[in-house]
Structure 1
Amino acid sequence: MFHKIKDYFTHEDKKLRDDRWIFLSMLVGAIGSLIAAFVLSVEAVELAKNSHAVLSCNFNAVLNCGAVGVHPSAHLFGFPNSFLGLIAEPVVITVAVAGLAGVKFPRLFMFVAQICYSLGLIFALWLFATSYFVIGALCPWCLLVTATTLFVWFAITRYNIRENNLYLSPSVSKWAHRWVEKSYDKALLFTLVSLLVGAIVVKYGNALF
Protein backbone atom coordinates (compact mmCIF):
# COMPACT_ATOMS: atom_id res chain seq x y z
CA MET A 1 0.00 0.00 0.00
CA PHE A 2 2.76 2.44 0.97
CA HIS A 3 4.59 1.65 -2.25
CA LYS A 4 1.47 2.53 -4.24
CA ILE A 5 1.14 5.83 -2.40
CA LYS A 6 4.82 6.58 -2.96
CA ASP A 7 4.57 5.72 -6.65
CA TYR A 8 1.44 7.90 -6.95
CA PHE A 9 3.22 11.01 -5.68
CA THR A 10 6.60 10.29 -7.31
CA HIS A 11 5.32 9.61 -10.81
CA GLU A 12 7.95 9.98 -13.54
CA ASP A 13 5.72 12.45 -15.40
CA LYS A 14 6.71 15.79 -13.83
CA LYS A 15 3.45 17.55 -14.73
CA LEU A 16 1.29 14.74 -13.38
CA ARG A 17 3.37 14.57 -10.22
CA ASP A 18 3.05 18.31 -9.74
CA ASP A 19 -0.74 18.12 -10.24
CA ARG A 20 -1.05 15.47 -7.54
CA TRP A 21 0.96 17.48 -5.04
CA ILE A 22 -1.08 20.58 -5.88
CA PHE A 23 -4.40 18.86 -5.24
CA LEU A 24 -3.04 17.15 -2.12
CA SER A 25 -2.04 20.58 -0.77
CA MET A 26 -5.52 21.86 -1.56
CA LEU A 27 -7.10 18.87 0.17
CA VAL A 28 -5.03 19.14 3.36
CA GLY A 29 -5.48 22.91 3.50
CA ALA A 30 -9.23 22.76 2.95
CA ILE A 31 -9.67 20.05 5.59
CA GLY A 32 -7.70 22.18 8.05
CA SER A 33 -9.86 25.22 7.27
CA LEU A 34 -13.05 23.18 7.56
CA ILE A 35 -12.08 21.89 11.00
CA ALA A 36 -11.24 25.43 12.12
CA ALA A 37 -14.51 26.76 10.67
CA PHE A 38 -16.48 24.11 12.53
CA VAL A 39 -14.82 24.87 15.87
CA LEU A 40 -15.23 28.62 15.36
CA SER A 41 -18.90 28.13 14.47
CA VAL A 42 -19.51 26.21 17.70
CA GLU A 43 -17.72 28.91 19.67
CA ALA A 44 -19.68 31.63 17.87
CA VAL A 45 -22.88 30.01 19.13
CA GLU A 46 -21.44 29.96 22.66
CA LEU A 47 -20.53 33.65 22.43
CA ALA A 48 -24.00 34.44 21.12
CA LYS A 49 -25.43 32.89 24.28
CA ASN A 50 -22.88 34.50 26.59
CA SER A 51 -20.45 37.16 25.38
CA HIS A 52 -18.27 36.46 28.44
CA ALA A 53 -18.02 32.74 27.82
CA VAL A 54 -14.58 31.21 28.40
CA LEU A 55 -13.65 29.38 25.22
CA SER A 56 -11.27 26.46 24.90
CA CYS A 57 -8.77 28.56 22.91
CA ASN A 58 -8.68 31.47 25.37
CA PHE A 59 -5.09 30.85 26.49
CA ASN A 60 -4.13 34.37 27.53
CA ALA A 61 -4.74 38.01 26.62
CA VAL A 62 -3.03 37.57 23.25
CA LEU A 63 -4.16 34.10 22.16
CA ASN A 64 -7.81 34.73 22.83
CA CYS A 65 -10.62 33.55 20.54
CA GLY A 66 -13.21 35.25 22.72
CA ALA A 67 -11.73 38.72 22.23
CA VAL A 68 -11.68 38.20 18.47
CA GLY A 69 -15.10 36.53 18.37
CA VAL A 70 -16.98 39.42 19.98
CA HIS A 71 -15.45 42.04 17.66
CA PRO A 72 -17.77 43.27 14.84
CA SER A 73 -15.32 41.95 12.22
CA ALA A 74 -16.13 38.38 13.34
CA HIS A 75 -19.64 38.63 11.90
CA LEU A 76 -19.17 41.12 9.10
CA PHE A 77 -22.16 39.94 7.05
CA GLY A 78 -24.57 39.60 9.95
CA PHE A 79 -23.57 36.03 10.83
CA PRO A 80 -20.32 34.41 12.01
CA ASN A 81 -17.61 34.49 9.34
CA SER A 82 -16.90 30.84 10.08
CA PHE A 83 -20.20 29.89 8.44
CA LEU A 84 -18.65 30.91 5.12
CA GLY A 85 -15.92 28.35 5.70
CA LEU A 86 -18.49 25.64 6.33
CA ILE A 87 -19.98 26.45 2.92
CA ALA A 88 -16.81 27.00 0.87
CA GLU A 89 -14.34 24.41 2.15
CA PRO A 90 -16.41 21.31 1.23
CA VAL A 91 -16.40 22.62 -2.34
CA VAL A 92 -12.60 22.93 -2.28
CA ILE A 93 -12.32 19.43 -0.80
CA THR A 94 -14.51 18.05 -3.59
CA VAL A 95 -12.40 19.77 -6.26
CA ALA A 96 -9.19 18.50 -4.64
CA VAL A 97 -10.42 14.90 -4.45
CA ALA A 98 -11.62 15.04 -8.06
CA GLY A 99 -8.28 16.49 -9.10
CA LEU A 100 -6.42 13.68 -7.35
CA ALA A 101 -8.64 11.25 -9.26
CA GLY A 102 -7.48 12.82 -12.52
CA VAL A 103 -10.54 14.92 -13.38
CA LYS A 104 -9.86 17.71 -15.87
CA PHE A 105 -11.80 20.82 -14.97
CA PRO A 106 -13.27 23.30 -17.49
CA ARG A 107 -11.25 26.44 -17.91
CA LEU A 108 -14.07 28.78 -16.90
CA PHE A 109 -14.79 26.75 -13.76
CA MET A 110 -11.19 27.07 -12.57
CA PHE A 111 -11.10 30.76 -13.48
CA VAL A 112 -14.16 31.40 -11.33
CA ALA A 113 -12.66 29.27 -8.56
CA GLN A 114 -9.52 31.44 -8.73
CA ILE A 115 -11.56 34.63 -8.35
CA CYS A 116 -13.60 33.24 -5.45
CA TYR A 117 -10.58 31.95 -3.57
CA SER A 118 -8.68 35.18 -4.20
CA LEU A 119 -11.53 37.05 -2.52
CA GLY A 120 -11.37 34.53 0.31
CA LEU A 121 -7.63 35.13 0.72
CA ILE A 122 -8.11 38.91 0.79
CA PHE A 123 -10.81 38.48 3.43
CA ALA A 124 -8.63 36.16 5.54
CA LEU A 125 -5.68 38.58 5.41
CA TRP A 126 -7.96 41.50 6.29
CA LEU A 127 -9.26 39.60 9.32
CA PHE A 128 -5.69 38.84 10.37
CA ALA A 129 -4.73 42.51 10.02
CA THR A 130 -7.79 43.52 12.06
CA SER A 131 -6.84 41.10 14.84
CA TYR A 132 -3.21 42.17 14.72
CA PHE A 133 -3.58 45.96 14.54
CA VAL A 134 -7.06 46.72 15.92
CA ILE A 135 -8.18 44.03 18.37
CA GLY A 136 -4.73 43.30 19.75
CA ALA A 137 -5.47 39.60 20.16
CA LEU A 138 -5.11 36.53 17.98
CA CYS A 139 -7.40 33.55 17.52
CA PRO A 140 -5.40 30.30 17.03
CA TRP A 141 -8.13 28.79 14.85
CA CYS A 142 -8.27 31.95 12.77
CA LEU A 143 -4.51 31.78 12.30
CA LEU A 144 -4.94 28.24 11.00
CA VAL A 145 -7.52 29.49 8.50
CA THR A 146 -5.18 32.26 7.35
CA ALA A 147 -2.30 29.81 6.86
CA THR A 148 -4.34 27.14 5.06
CA THR A 149 -6.02 29.74 2.85
CA LEU A 150 -2.59 30.96 1.78
CA PHE A 151 -1.46 27.41 0.95
CA VAL A 152 -4.61 26.58 -1.00
CA TRP A 153 -4.52 29.88 -2.92
CA PHE A 154 -0.94 29.32 -4.02
CA ALA A 155 -1.76 25.72 -4.99
CA ILE A 156 -4.77 26.62 -7.12
CA THR A 157 -2.90 29.57 -8.66
CA ARG A 158 0.02 27.35 -9.63
CA TYR A 159 -2.37 24.88 -11.27
CA ASN A 160 -4.29 27.57 -13.12
CA ILE A 161 -1.14 29.21 -14.46
CA ARG A 162 0.18 25.89 -15.73
CA GLU A 163 -3.16 25.01 -17.34
CA ASN A 164 -3.67 28.50 -18.85
CA ASN A 165 -6.96 28.95 -16.99
CA LEU A 166 -6.52 32.63 -16.10
CA TYR A 167 -7.10 34.21 -19.53
CA LEU A 168 -3.74 36.01 -19.34
CA SER A 169 -2.18 37.77 -22.30
CA PRO A 170 0.53 35.74 -24.10
CA SER A 171 3.36 37.84 -22.64
CA VAL A 172 2.03 37.70 -19.07
CA SER A 173 1.24 33.99 -19.42
CA LYS A 174 4.79 33.28 -20.59
CA TRP A 175 6.21 35.18 -17.63
CA ALA A 176 3.87 33.38 -15.19
CA HIS A 177 4.80 29.96 -16.61
CA ARG A 178 8.47 30.77 -16.15
CA TRP A 179 7.73 31.90 -12.59
CA VAL A 180 6.11 28.59 -11.56
CA GLU A 181 8.59 26.46 -13.50
CA LYS A 182 11.37 27.91 -11.36
CA SER A 183 9.18 27.46 -8.22
CA TYR A 184 9.34 31.15 -7.38
CA ASP A 185 5.71 30.86 -6.28
CA LYS A 186 6.73 28.38 -3.58
CA ALA A 187 9.51 30.70 -2.44
CA LEU A 188 7.01 33.57 -2.24
CA LEU A 189 4.57 31.45 -0.24
CA PHE A 190 7.12 30.54 2.40
CA THR A 191 8.38 34.12 2.47
CA LEU A 192 4.87 35.40 3.22
CA VAL A 193 4.34 32.76 5.91
CA SER A 194 7.69 33.68 7.47
CA LEU A 195 6.75 37.37 7.44
CA LEU A 196 3.42 36.66 9.16
CA VAL A 197 5.08 34.50 11.80
CA GLY A 198 7.81 37.09 12.26
CA ALA A 199 5.26 39.89 12.67
CA ILE A 200 3.45 37.89 15.36
CA VAL A 201 6.66 37.13 17.23
CA VAL A 202 7.88 40.73 17.06
CA LYS A 203 4.67 42.20 18.46
CA TYR A 204 3.43 39.45 20.75
CA GLY A 205 6.51 37.33 21.39
CA ASN A 206 6.82 38.20 25.07
CA ALA A 207 3.21 37.23 25.71
CA LEU A 208 3.45 34.01 23.71
CA PHE A 209 6.61 32.55 25.18
Structure 2
Amino acid sequence: MSTAPQQTARPVGFAILSILLGMVGWFASFELLTEYIKTLQSPAHVPNCNISVLVTCGPNMGSWQGSILGFSNTIIGVSAFVAPIAVGVALLAGARFMAWFWRLYQLGLFGGFVLVGWLQFQSIFALGTLCPWCMVAWVAMIPLWWSGLIHPFAAGSIPLSARGRRFFRSLNSWVWVIVLINLFIIAAVAQFQLNWFAEFARG
Protein backbone atom coordinates (compact mmCIF):
# COMPACT_ATOMS: atom_id res chain seq x y z
CA MET A 1 0.00 0.00 0.00
CA SER A 2 1.52 3.30 -1.09
CA THR A 3 2.18 6.05 1.45
CA ALA A 4 3.46 8.63 -1.08
CA PRO A 5 2.03 12.15 -0.89
CA GLN A 6 -1.17 12.49 -2.90
CA GLN A 7 -2.02 16.16 -2.78
CA THR A 8 -5.34 17.40 -4.04
CA ALA A 9 -6.22 20.71 -5.68
CA ARG A 10 -5.19 23.98 -4.09
CA PRO A 11 -6.58 24.13 -0.52
CA VAL A 12 -8.20 27.54 -0.99
CA GLY A 13 -10.34 27.32 2.15
CA PHE A 14 -7.45 26.29 4.36
CA ALA A 15 -5.22 28.97 2.83
CA ILE A 16 -7.74 31.76 3.37
CA LEU A 17 -8.41 30.58 6.93
CA SER A 18 -4.67 30.60 7.66
CA ILE A 19 -4.31 34.12 6.29
CA LEU A 20 -7.30 35.52 8.19
CA LEU A 21 -6.38 33.88 11.51
CA GLY A 22 -2.77 34.92 11.09
CA MET A 23 -3.84 38.52 10.48
CA VAL A 24 -6.13 38.50 13.51
CA GLY A 25 -3.39 37.09 15.74
CA TRP A 26 -0.81 39.50 14.32
CA PHE A 27 -3.08 42.52 14.86
CA ALA A 28 -3.80 41.53 18.47
CA SER A 29 -0.08 41.04 19.12
CA PHE A 30 0.73 44.36 17.45
CA GLU A 31 -1.85 46.18 19.58
CA LEU A 32 -0.38 44.65 22.72
CA LEU A 33 3.13 45.60 21.60
CA THR A 34 2.20 49.22 20.92
CA GLU A 35 0.43 49.48 24.27
CA TYR A 36 3.45 47.92 25.98
CA ILE A 37 5.78 50.46 24.35
CA LYS A 38 3.49 53.33 25.34
CA THR A 39 3.53 52.07 28.92
CA LEU A 40 7.32 51.99 28.91
CA GLN A 41 7.41 55.53 27.53
CA SER A 42 4.86 56.81 30.02
CA PRO A 43 4.16 54.76 33.17
CA ALA A 44 0.94 56.75 33.62
CA HIS A 45 -0.40 55.54 30.28
CA VAL A 46 -3.61 53.51 30.54
CA PRO A 47 -3.63 50.73 27.91
CA ASN A 48 -6.67 50.60 25.64
CA CYS A 49 -7.36 47.06 26.87
CA ASN A 50 -7.78 48.07 30.51
CA ILE A 51 -11.55 47.80 30.79
CA SER A 52 -12.00 46.73 34.41
CA VAL A 53 -10.14 45.04 37.25
CA LEU A 54 -10.86 41.64 35.69
CA VAL A 55 -10.73 42.52 31.99
CA THR A 56 -7.34 44.17 31.62
CA CYS A 57 -3.94 43.63 30.04
CA GLY A 58 -1.82 45.85 32.29
CA PRO A 59 -0.96 43.17 34.88
CA ASN A 60 -0.22 40.65 32.13
CA MET A 61 2.20 42.95 30.32
CA GLY A 62 3.98 43.90 33.53
CA SER A 63 4.32 40.36 34.87
CA TRP A 64 7.22 37.94 34.38
CA GLN A 65 4.77 35.69 32.52
CA GLY A 66 4.48 38.45 29.92
CA SER A 67 8.21 38.27 29.15
CA ILE A 68 9.18 34.62 29.53
CA LEU A 69 12.17 34.90 27.18
CA GLY A 70 13.43 38.14 28.68
CA PHE A 71 11.48 40.33 26.27
CA SER A 72 7.78 40.98 25.75
CA ASN A 73 5.76 38.00 24.51
CA THR A 74 4.13 40.41 22.08
CA ILE A 75 7.34 40.35 20.00
CA ILE A 76 6.94 36.59 19.67
CA GLY A 77 3.35 37.04 18.52
CA VAL A 78 4.15 39.77 15.98
CA SER A 79 6.91 37.58 14.54
CA ALA A 80 5.20 34.17 14.68
CA PHE A 81 1.79 35.10 13.28
CA VAL A 82 3.49 36.08 10.03
CA ALA A 83 4.07 32.37 9.33
CA PRO A 84 0.45 31.28 8.74
CA ILE A 85 -0.10 34.39 6.61
CA ALA A 86 2.91 33.50 4.45
CA VAL A 87 1.88 29.85 4.20
CA GLY A 88 -1.67 30.80 3.23
CA VAL A 89 -0.51 33.24 0.55
CA ALA A 90 1.93 30.67 -0.83
CA LEU A 91 -0.80 28.03 -1.04
CA LEU A 92 -3.11 30.44 -2.87
CA ALA A 93 -0.28 31.08 -5.32
CA GLY A 94 -0.09 27.35 -6.03
CA ALA A 95 2.85 26.36 -3.81
CA ARG A 96 3.26 22.71 -2.86
CA PHE A 97 5.27 22.03 0.26
CA MET A 98 7.21 18.89 1.09
CA ALA A 99 6.16 16.68 3.99
CA TRP A 100 9.13 17.84 6.10
CA PHE A 101 7.94 21.45 5.76
CA TRP A 102 4.48 20.57 7.03
CA ARG A 103 5.97 18.69 9.96
CA LEU A 104 8.08 21.72 10.89
CA TYR A 105 5.04 23.97 10.45
CA GLN A 106 3.00 21.71 12.71
CA LEU A 107 5.81 21.77 15.27
CA GLY A 108 5.77 25.57 15.22
CA LEU A 109 2.00 25.65 15.59
CA PHE A 110 2.22 23.19 18.46
CA GLY A 111 4.75 25.45 20.18
CA GLY A 112 2.34 28.37 19.81
CA PHE A 113 -0.56 26.29 21.07
CA VAL A 114 1.39 25.16 24.15
CA LEU A 115 2.54 28.73 24.86
CA VAL A 116 -1.01 30.03 24.56
CA GLY A 117 -2.27 27.25 26.84
CA TRP A 118 0.37 28.10 29.43
CA LEU A 119 -0.50 31.80 29.23
CA GLN A 120 -4.19 30.97 29.64
CA PHE A 121 -3.41 29.03 32.81
CA GLN A 122 -1.23 31.84 34.15
CA SER A 123 -3.80 34.50 33.29
CA ILE A 124 -6.71 32.65 34.89
CA PHE A 125 -5.08 31.06 37.93
CA ALA A 126 -2.03 33.23 38.72
CA LEU A 127 -2.86 36.75 37.54
CA GLY A 128 -6.63 36.54 37.83
CA THR A 129 -7.23 38.67 34.77
CA LEU A 130 -8.57 38.32 31.24
CA CYS A 131 -6.51 40.30 28.76
CA PRO A 132 -8.74 41.29 25.79
CA TRP A 133 -6.01 41.37 23.13
CA CYS A 134 -4.50 38.19 24.57
CA MET A 135 -7.85 36.45 24.19
CA VAL A 136 -8.06 37.57 20.56
CA ALA A 137 -4.65 35.97 19.99
CA TRP A 138 -5.87 32.80 21.74
CA VAL A 139 -8.93 32.65 19.50
CA ALA A 140 -6.66 32.91 16.46
CA MET A 141 -4.04 30.41 17.65
CA ILE A 142 -6.42 27.60 18.63
CA PRO A 143 -8.02 27.05 15.18
CA LEU A 144 -4.63 27.61 13.54
CA TRP A 145 -3.27 24.68 15.52
CA TRP A 146 -6.15 22.27 14.98
CA SER A 147 -6.54 23.04 11.27
CA GLY A 148 -2.76 22.98 10.76
CA LEU A 149 -2.55 19.64 12.52
CA ILE A 150 -5.31 17.88 10.61
CA HIS A 151 -5.29 19.43 7.12
CA PRO A 152 -1.83 18.28 5.92
CA PHE A 153 -2.72 14.67 6.72
CA ALA A 154 -6.20 14.97 5.21
CA ALA A 155 -4.86 16.57 2.01
CA GLY A 156 -2.12 13.99 1.57
CA SER A 157 0.65 16.55 2.07
CA ILE A 158 2.12 14.25 4.72
CA PRO A 159 2.17 10.61 3.59
CA LEU A 160 -0.14 8.20 5.37
CA SER A 161 -1.70 4.86 4.68
CA ALA A 162 -5.03 4.95 2.86
CA ARG A 163 -6.80 4.16 6.11
CA GLY A 164 -4.96 6.93 7.97
CA ARG A 165 -5.76 9.47 5.31
CA ARG A 166 -9.45 8.52 5.33
CA PHE A 167 -9.46 9.04 9.09
CA PHE A 168 -7.99 12.52 8.84
CA ARG A 169 -10.22 13.46 5.92
CA SER A 170 -13.19 12.52 8.05
CA LEU A 171 -11.76 14.38 11.04
CA ASN A 172 -11.11 17.45 8.89
CA SER A 173 -14.83 18.09 8.55
CA TRP A 174 -15.09 18.25 12.34
CA VAL A 175 -12.30 20.76 12.94
CA TRP A 176 -14.75 23.52 13.78
CA VAL A 177 -16.37 21.30 16.43
CA ILE A 178 -12.98 20.56 18.00
CA VAL A 179 -12.18 24.27 18.04
CA LEU A 180 -15.50 25.14 19.67
CA ILE A 181 -15.00 22.46 22.33
CA ASN A 182 -11.51 23.80 23.02
CA LEU A 183 -12.80 27.35 23.38
CA PHE A 184 -15.71 26.21 25.53
CA ILE A 185 -13.36 24.44 27.93
CA ILE A 186 -11.28 27.61 28.33
CA ALA A 187 -14.40 29.74 28.86
CA ALA A 188 -15.77 27.26 31.41
CA VAL A 189 -12.50 27.15 33.38
CA ALA A 190 -12.34 30.96 33.37
CA GLN A 191 -15.95 31.16 34.51
CA PHE A 192 -15.46 28.77 37.42
CA GLN A 193 -12.26 30.50 38.51
CA LEU A 194 -13.00 34.18 37.77
CA ASN A 195 -16.78 34.38 37.25
CA TRP A 196 -16.21 36.50 34.14
CA PHE A 197 -19.88 36.21 33.10
CA ALA A 198 -20.96 38.29 36.10
CA GLU A 199 -18.31 40.88 35.20
CA PHE A 200 -19.64 41.24 31.65
CA ALA A 201 -23.24 41.21 32.89
CA ARG A 202 -22.50 44.19 35.15
CA GLY A 203 -20.91 45.99 32.22
Whether contact under 8 Å (1:111, 1:165) holds in the other structure is: no
Cα distance between partner residues in 2 of 1:44 and 1:82: 8
Alignment correspondent of 1:42: 34
1:58 aligns with 2:45: no
Q: Which amino acid aligns with 2:167?
A: R
Q: Does 1:204 align with 2:196?
A: yes
| Alpha-carbon distance in 2 for matches of 1:108, 1:179 | 18
Picking from 91, 105, 108, the partner of 1:113 is 105
Distance 1:79 1:199, change over 3 A: same
Percent identity of equivalent pairs: 20
Asked if the contact 2:28–2:136 (Cα under 8 Å) also holds between the matched residues in 1, the reply is yes
| Cα distance in 1, alignment partners of residues 114 and 64 from structure 2 | 18
The equivalent of 1:26 in structure 2 is: 18
Q: How far did 1:167 drift?
A: 6.4
**Equivalent residue in structure 2 for 1:142, among 129, 134, 137:** 134
Equivalent pairs, count: 191
Going from structure 1 to structure 2, the CA distance change for 1:177 and 1:61 (only over 3 Å counts) comes to farther
TM score, norm. by length of structure 2: 0.84
Deviations 1:21-76 (A, max 9, x none): 11111111000011011111111212333455311110000111112111110011
The match for 1:125 among 105, 117, 130 is 117
The DSSP-based 3-state class of the residue aligned with 2:81 is helix
Q: Is the 8 A contact 2:97 2:157 kept in 1?
A: no
Q: Which is richer in helix?
A: 1
Equivalent pair of 1:110/1:165 in contact (CA under 8 Å): yes
Relative to the length of structure 1, the TM-score reads 0.82
Aligned to 1:193: 183
Q: Distance in 1 between matches of 2:121 and 2:153?
A: 28
Give structure 1 stretches of 5+ with no counterpart. Answer: 1-14
Q: Distance in 1 between matches of 2:146 and 2:163?
A: 18
Q: CA offsets per residue over residues 165-187 of structure 1, 9 Å max, x none? A: 5566x4xx834641441523332
